[in-house]
Structure 1
Amino acid sequence: MRSTVLYVLTVLIWGSTWLAIEYQLGVVAPEVSLVYRFSIAALLMWVYCLIKKLPMQFSLENHLFFMTLACCNFGFNYLILYWAQDYLTSAMTSIAFSTLLIMNIINTRIFFGKPIAPRIFIGATLGLAGIIGLFWQDVKTLDFASEAIIGLGLSLAGTFVASLGNMTSVRNSKNDIGIMQGNAWGMLYGSLFLLTFTLISGSEFSFDTRLPYIVSLLYLSIFGTVIAFACYFVLLKDIGPEKASYSVVLFPVVAVTLSMMFEGFVWQSSTVIGFVLVLTGNIVVLTPVHRFRRLFAADKPIEQS
């Protein structure tokens, strides 16, 4: 029951954060909003770690990896995705982000030498075809200056950066660094890096006092960053990474539903085909061959002796 509740919470929270990001755009610069978001999240994470009396002292080498984690998972990946949502709806950005699964598998091969199963190539092909279907109206004209293509490029770039952060997290876990401590340091460094970037870029430190901005900021900080990551990491421990990763497949469904309700997202035939192909590709990637064999074996009639 606990795993079920945590799984539902993870899918609903992360699926809804894409819409919440929309309310962060427009008045306050994206990098400034992210400074606010990760500063709040870092404060909460540090309070938790100190209350639990978790060890927080690590070597210089580990701090360098915390900084890498900060840049890739708690900083610039989000900044790029915020930029992407200036050009795309939250639904389209979330679907593009679901390619994280395939990027993680490829990067795991590159950095840790884990073999790539043949089904990965099938899933990757379906995913690529799905992305083309989603953005077919712009792809067919080859107008790389169009807003949709720019948004797609930013979404995939942000997703790739996030994948590098995931590889850093795997490295930290292999070196017996607690997830909560690693995240606390990562979020702290992330907020500092974003603050530095904001000061260098000359962005104005403004604040939107309207209720939608404040509520979405608190939601992204508390639920989207602290609680969702906590739920997901408990799931990793309880049911393993393979089953927990299905949340990445399901949260675009939540994002699309909310986008239809609040952003007027309109389905087209190419969009439907693309969405189905992306989801199917991710499911193929996550499902080992022996499961398909068992499924087909279960459908076969029992022979009478």
Structure 2
Amino acid sequence: MSNTLLYVIATLIWGSTWLAITFQYGDVPASASVAYRFLLAGILMLAWCKLRQHRLRLTAQEWRGVALQGVLMFGISYMLVYEAEQHIASGLMAVLNSIMVVFNLIGMRLAFGKTIDAKSMLGAGLGIVGIGLVFWPELNNVGGDHAWLGVACGLGAALVASVGNIVAQHNRNIGTPLLPTIGYGMVLGGSLALLFTVLSGQNIVFDTRPEYLASLLYLALFGSVLAFAAYLTLMGRIGAAKSGYVAVAVPIVALLLSGWFEGFVWHIYTVLGITCAVAGNIIMLADTSSWRRKLGLGTC
């Protein structure tokens, strides 16, 4: 599967999960919904790995990396996301999550000594500016303690997810099998969310409404299993810094769905923002060395 197709799969699916998450709210605590989602997704992923005869035995070193990745990427990060969306609009949460691109660039520099080149900085900068323009009315109207709690949770989710990306990159570097890593990580992250629900004194309940069940299945199968498999495969090929740019493209899809299903009104800022984000997307993913070779310019 090509890098472009992996990128498109992750972007389109995660762009729709912001809307799907809103159907999870009700009698079920947010952390319990996170637990149900990732426990189900993890079990399905491990069953698939068993069927396809993937290596399921891990070394002690691999288990440490898998556990840390699962707790960060599928546990703490998503509990913060679900909490944030109870206090702020999903569009604003998408904006905050796009900051992960910058965190990834810095993290790759600190963890692996990767150079932050001008192309990456320009692409990430245009993406962040674009998303900010698209959602400027929401950003400009944040107010109240609950709203700022949502902002804090959103920023925390992006930071924790970025650290999880760095751990995932390390796991790929040492040869930990990808799909079993995702499966075990989801089970561990879901277990942490379930433990948090119990220890925080919240009730373990389940919602049998059709919209809750449908959104849970979609989030588990598509938003978790398929999207994370595509994203982490892409990250293993092109690195956490470039693959993290999915977080900037995702809000564009979320915006389109919001317009269709939630009545989002398009403005001039919307068009300008999308233009900036798409331009940044192209710059970030462009293989400049290939173009230089084709044009006979060499590399620098």
Is the TM value for this pair above 0.5? yes
Aligned pairs (5 A) from 1:188-199:
188-199=187-198
Equivalent residues in 2 for 1:264-303, closer than 5 Å: 264-268=263-267, 273=272, 276-277=275-276, 280-281=279-280, 283-287=282-286
Task: Kindly indicate whether residue 13 of structure 2 is the aligned counterpart of residue 13 of structure 1.
Answer: yes
1:12-161 to 2 correspondence within 5 Å?
12-123=12-123, 125-126=125-126, 129=129, 133=133, 145=145, 147=147, 149-161=148-160
Q: Which amino acid aligns with 2:145?
A: A
State the AA in 1 paired with 2:227: A
Letter in 2 for 1:186: G
Contact 2:128 2:248 in 1 (8 A): no
Larger displacement relative to structure 2 (168-177 or 239-248): 239-248
Provide closer, same or farther for how the CA distance between residues 285 and 87 of structure 1 changes in structure 2, counting only shifts above 3 A: farther
Residue pair 1:89, 1:259 contacting (<8 A) in 2 also: no
Residues 125, 52 of structure 1: alpha-carbon distance in 2 compared, 3 angstrom cutoff: closer
Instruction: Say whether the 8 Å CA contact 2:75–2:189 is kept in structure 1.
Output: yes
Deviation of 1:188 after TM superposition, in Å, equals 1.7
Larger Rg: 1
Q: 2 CA distance for matches of 1:275 and 1:20?
A: 22
Cα shift at 1:123 = 4.5
Q: Which whole-Å CA distance do the structure 2 matches of 1:136 and 1:281 have between them?
A: 18
SS of 2:24 mapped into structure 1: coil
Cα-to-partner distance string for 1:11-59 (whole Å, 9 max, x where unaligned) = 3212111110111123311100011111101111111122223222223
Report which stretch shifted further, 2-11 or 174-183: 2-11
Deviations 1:187-208 (A, max 9, x none): 1211221121111111111112
Contact kept? 1:133, 1:274, Cα under 8 Å: yes
Q: Give the C-alpha shift of residue 120 in structure 1.
A: 4.0
Residue in 1 aligned with 2:298?
A: none
Gaps of 5+ in 1: 298-305
Letter of the 1:35 counterpart: A
Q: Deviations over 1:55-89 (max 9, x none)?
A: 22223332222221112111110111111211333
Query: For the structure 1 residues 139 and 39, does the alpha-carbon distance in structure 2 shift closer, same or farther, using more than 3 Å as the test?
Result: closer
Q: How many residues align?
A: 295
Once the two structures are TM-superposed, the CA of residue 249 in structure 1 deviates from its matched residue by 4.0
Distance 2:141 2:2 in 1: 49
- CA drift of 1:170 comes to 0.8
Alpha-carbon distance in structure 2 between the residues aligned to 1:104 and 1:205: 35
Distance, in Å, in 2 between the alignment partners of 1:22 and 1:235 is: 28
Tell me, yes or no, if the aligned pair for 1:102 and 1:120 is still in contact at 8 Å: no
Q: Which residue of 2 aligns with 1:168?
A: 167
- Identity rate, percent: 36
> How many angstroms does 1:94 deviate by?
2.2
Contact 2:41 2:220 in 1 (8 A): yes
Which residue in 2 is equivalent to 1:205?
Answer: 204
Structure 2 contact 92–139 (Cα < 8 Å) conserved = no
Structure 1 Cα separation of the partners of residues 270 and 26 of structure 2: 26
Query: In the aligned structure 2, how far is the partner of 1:131 from the partner of 1:5?
Result: 23
Quick check: 1:221 aligned with 2:220? yes
TM-score calculated relative to the size of structure 1: 0.81
- Deviation for aligned residue 1:144: 6.8
Q: Which residue of 2 aligns with 1:253?
A: 252
C-alpha separation in 1, matches of 2:141 and 2:250: 30
Partner amino acid, structure 2, of 1:107: G
